Amino acid sequence: MRFPTVSRCRQALFLSVLPAISLAQGLSFDPREATIASTHHALYTGLTTCREIVSSFLSRIEALNNHTNAIITLNPDALSIASHFDTLLASHNASTGRLFCIPVLLKDNYDTANMPTTGGNLDLADSRPSVDAPAVTALKDAGAIVLGKANLHELALEGLSVSSLGGQTINPYDSTRTPGGSSGGSGAAVAASFSVFSTGSDTVNSLRSPASANSLFSCRPTRGLISRAGIIPISYTQDVIGPIGRCVEDVATALTVMSSVGFDADDNATALAPAGIRGTDYYADLTGGSLQGMRFGLPGGFFNRTATNETTPVNSAMAAMVAKLRSAGATIVPINDTVYNATAISALYDTQRYEYRQEMDVYLQRPSLKGTHPTTLNQLYNSSKFLVIPSQYEYVTTSLISSTDNVTVGSHESYDAVQRGIANLTLALRETFVSKTLDALIYPEQKNLVVKIGSASQSGRNGILAAVTGSPVITVPAGFSAATDEAPIGVPIGMEILGLPYTEQKLLQTAWQIQELTKVRRTPVWARQVVHVKPYANGTVPVIRPDRGNISPNYPLGTL
Ligand SMILES: *[C@@H]1O[C@H](CO)[C@@H](O)[C@H](O)[C@H]1NC(C)=O
Ligand SMILES: *[C@@H]1O[C@H](CO)[C@@H](O)[C@H](O)[C@H]1NC(C)=O
Ligand SMILES: *[C@@H]1O[C@H](CO)[C@@H](O)[C@H](O)[C@H]1NC(C)=O
Ligand SMILES: *[C@@H]1O[C@H](CO)[C@@H](O)[C@H](O)[C@H]1NC(C)=O
Ligand SMILES: *[C@@H]1O[C@H](CO)[C@@H](O)[C@H](O)[C@H]1NC(C)=O
Ligand SMILES: *[C@@H]1O[C@H](CO)[C@@H](O)[C@H](O)[C@H]1NC(C)=O
Ligand SMILES: *[C@@H]1O[C@H](CO)[C@@H](O)[C@H](O)[C@H]1NC(C)=O
Ligand SMILES: *[C@@H]1O[C@H](CO)[C@@H](O)[C@H](O)[C@H]1NC(C)=O
Ligand SMILES: *[C@@H]1O[C@H](CO)[C@@H](O)[C@H](O)[C@H]1NC(C)=O
Ligand SMILES: *[C@@H]1O[C@H](CO)[C@@H](O)[C@H](O)[C@H]1NC(C)=O
Ligand SMILES: *[C@@H]1O[C@H](CO)[C@@H](O)[C@H](O)[C@H]1NC(C)=O
């Protein structure tokens, strides 16, 4: 009995191996490494029902969540929606959207009308939006079934994926390490096949670090491609939202659906998207690219060449990736410009401290936000119901103390200087692309392996360049460190592919070529097990209680 541990998004081969295993287990649908295509194949050929698909993922979460602590809440309506979909299918009257009966998990900073939206923060435990975020509506309209909400780094402010409400999420590949973040629950859950794909948000690294640390694919879209309305905010300049999946195909389909919201008056950045971009189907021509003749810039400043156990595996994985790209006919162009220095860009141009307080106050004061919740960020931090994280302390306190009025362009000289610097950096990036005729920049998401649980910060990440310039990035699995006792198949390592604004289609085509060339993704060892599907009675979606007993003493519940 052999379970193929390599993800195959075109599932023909995958399915040809699995049914024998599945039938032996009494299963007619195998959720492990399932994709949109394999799920639809099983459903539409009558091998399974929507109810069984949803039950199989719920059963995995119920049985295995204690390995990773990725889930905060399950959707009490998930089973009844699935039954309704089966009724539609039986009547041959289903207007099946492209995500029909696809189970998804949402980062718990996405507003949902039937579940609390907490940001992982105890003071928001009963904060209840009365309307779904537009991106959630789009997913549901396309037929997706929201299984529940995933843990995140508290309020999405760091990359350790520990929160006062959700506890510490554990990396599925190495139980001593964090799963990256801030969308760490979304990443760990997808790595463990708790859903077909998940969603995240990204203010500096947060869609890319969890993809990198969990051997997954993600898309950080261009600012303006997807409405950010109804997402717990941090920064108008830097926030974006997007999907995380086990293969490029699923990320492309999810991006197509999430971006179908188009212009949204509640997020005026959506007015920036060029008319020709609206309605793009990112799946349709996914296989239409070629690595032959492509030119990838490789910024040397995004590597740490000091050899240690934490950095050498990253450098080796990138060297192997570069060799494969070259052998496929691509050209690698070294970029030595000192402007590509993530530490310097963060120090000079990160806008969070200026924009956070006012963005959050607007979110907390919306009339549609029900339930018990603070109405200002100051109140939230005066509750002492939050974890003190050393690395975020400075900018959170700055944003609270300095921002008694709104920071807008023209109101604060230091903010204006930051925005001018970002404009300058954006121009420098474009200049690099043009002068070196580049198709994309490639670099490791993180200069070192994802950090251990209890660390002061998720150090060494390179996400800030895309964050401040609003550039799109597809993250792809690049390799693994060597196996150890703690990491039986090694720790995943991810690569960013960064392009100019609104080049998602080309970046996804490139990522698809790299997926086919390298086939890096592996399933975490404990997640390979088959879980017996529970015959849940109607209305009995299990209740998941996050483990808060596992929070490191390094992150006390705090006062500012
Ligand atoms: C998870 O729970 C199961 C059943 O209670 C137990 O057998 C297993 O050891 C637990 N695993 C972890 C990692 O806590
Ligand atoms: C088909 O579905 C539509 C919309 O869900 C409904 O209005 C209609 O009555 C259904 N027709 C049949 C034959 O079930
Ligand atoms: C867009 O919205 C932001 C934040 O809500 C606001 O500061 C800005 O003035 C708006 N821009 C335009 C052009 O309306
Ligand atoms: C580095 O890895 C080697 C081989 O696994 C191990 O013997 C050594 O103790 C590690 N060094 C550190 C500082 O962890
Ligand atoms: C950039 O750095 C690489 C080595 O890191 C070196 O081989 C190359 O000559 C440098 N290019 C320029 C233009 O300085
Ligand atoms: C990157 O910037 C930091 C902070 O400005 C500086 O200390 C460091 O020396 C720079 N690194 C390189 C390689 O120039
Ligand atoms: C914080 O709470 C205390 C009482 O608990 C109150 O006196 C104080 O005004 C509050 N501060 C802010 C900034 O809300
Ligand atoms: C800040 O802006 C928000 C809306 O953008 C507004 O509701 C609020 O009154 C403003 N606050 C101040 C102090 O100007
Ligand atoms: C603009 O960018 C260039 C590098 O491209 C840098 O040398 C210069 O200092 C920057 N100027 C400002 C005002 O940030
Ligand atoms: C590079 O790695 C070394 C060793 O892990 C570390 O001390 C140093 O801070 C890292 N430098 C950067 C720029 O990340
Ligand atoms: C659940 O309810 C649906 C109707 O909503 C029904 O068709 C189905 O048989 C019920 N399933 C169970 C297990 O009770």
Q: Which atom of ligand 8 is nearest to the CA of 404?
A: 13
Catalytic residue list contains 391: no
Q: Is the CB of 358 under 6 A from ligand 8?
A: yes
Kindly give the distance from the C-alpha atom of residue 549 to the centroid of ligand 1, in angstroms, as a whole number. 15
Which pLDDT value is given to residue 15? Answer: 42
Catalytic residue list contains 107: yes
Ligand 8, atom 3: closest residue by C-alpha: 362
Domain ranges of the chain: 30-530
Q: Measuring from each residue's beta carbon to the nearest atom of ligand 7, which residues come in under 6 Å?
A: 378-379, 382
Preceding omega of 259 cis (within 30 degrees of 0): no
Which pLDDT value is given to residue 11? Answer: 41
Give the separation between CA 408 and CA 411, rounded to whole angstroms: 5
Which pLDDT value is given to residue 560? Answer: 63
Q: In this structure, which ligand is nearest to the CA of 490?
A: 4
Q: Which of 59, 186, 193, 206 is catalytic?
A: 206
Which pLDDT value is given to residue 22? Answer: 53
Q: In this structure, which ligand is nearest to the CA of 409?
A: 3
Give the separation between CA 267 and CA 379, rounded to whole angstroms: 25
Which pairs from 409-418 meet CB under 8 Å and 24+ separation?
412/354, 414/354, 415/351, 415/354, 418/348, 418/349, 418/350, 418/351, 418/354
Ligand 6, atom 4: closest residue by C-alpha: 344
Q: Is the CB of 344 under 6 A from ligand 9?
A: no
Nearest to 242 by CA among 254, 253, 233, 224: 254
CA dihedral 11, 16, 19, 21 (to 10 degrees): -110
Ligand 9, atom 2: closest residue by C-alpha: 424
Give the separation between CA 43 and CA 26, rounded to whole angstroms: 16
Q: Is the CB of 344 under 6 A from ligand 6?
A: yes
Strand-pair partners of 168: 162
Please provide residue 478's backbone torsions phi and psi, each rounded to the nearest 5 degrees. Answer: -115, -20
Q: Which of 38, 55, 59, 107 is catalytic?
A: 107
pLDDT along the chain (560 residues), means of 10: 41 40 66 97 95 98 98 98 95 86 98 98 98 98 98 97 98 98 98 98 98 98 98 97 98 98 97 94 97 98 98 98 98 97 96 92 96 94 91 78 68 90 98 98 98 97 98 98 98 98 98 98 96 91 95 89
Kindly give the distance from the C-alpha atom of residue 64 to the centroid of ligand 11, in angstroms, as a whole number. 26
Catalytic residue list contains 149: no
Q: Which atom of ligand 1 is nearest to the CA of 67?
A: 13
Q: How many CB atoms lie within 10 A of CB 419?
A: 17
Strand-pair partners of 6: 522
Kindly give the distance from the C-alpha atom of residue 64 to the centroid of ligand 1, in angstroms, as a whole number. 7
Which pLDDT value is given to residue 19? Answer: 38
Which pLDDT value is given to residue 482? Answer: 98
Cross-sheet strand order for the sheet of 71-74: 71-74, 145-150, 103-107, 197-202, 240-245, 217-220, 473-480, 492-498, 440-444, 295-299, 331-335
Q: List b or e across 352-390, with b for residues whose CB sees 16 or more CB atoms inside 10 angstroms.
A: bbbbbbbbbbebbebeebeeebbeebbebbebebbbbbe
Kindly give the distance from the C-alpha atom of residue 356 to the centroid of ligand 8, in angstroms, as a whole number. 13
Q: Which atom of ligand 9 is nearest to the CA of 428?
A: 5
Please provide residue 437's backbone torsions phi and psi, each rounded to the nearest 5 degrees. Answer: 40, 60
Select 30-530's CATH number: 3.90.1300.10, 3.30.1540.10, 3.30.70.580, 3.40.50.1000: 3.90.1300.10
Which pLDDT value is given to residue 9? Answer: 61
Q: Which atom of ligand 11 is nearest to the CA of 87?
A: 7
Tell me 170's DSSP state.
-
Which pLDDT value is given to residue 404? Answer: 60
Kindly give the distance from the C-alpha atom of residue 240 to the centroid of ligand 3, in angstroms, as a whole number. 16
Kindly give the distance from the C-alpha atom of residue 408 to the centroid of ligand 9, in angstroms, as a whole number. 22
Kindly give the distance from the C-alpha atom of residue 133 to the centroid of ligand 8, in angstroms, as a whole number. 22
Q: Is the CB of 268 under 6 A from ligand 3?
A: yes
Q: Which atom of ligand 8 is nearest to the CA of 361?
A: 3
Ligand 2, atom 6: closest residue by C-alpha: 93
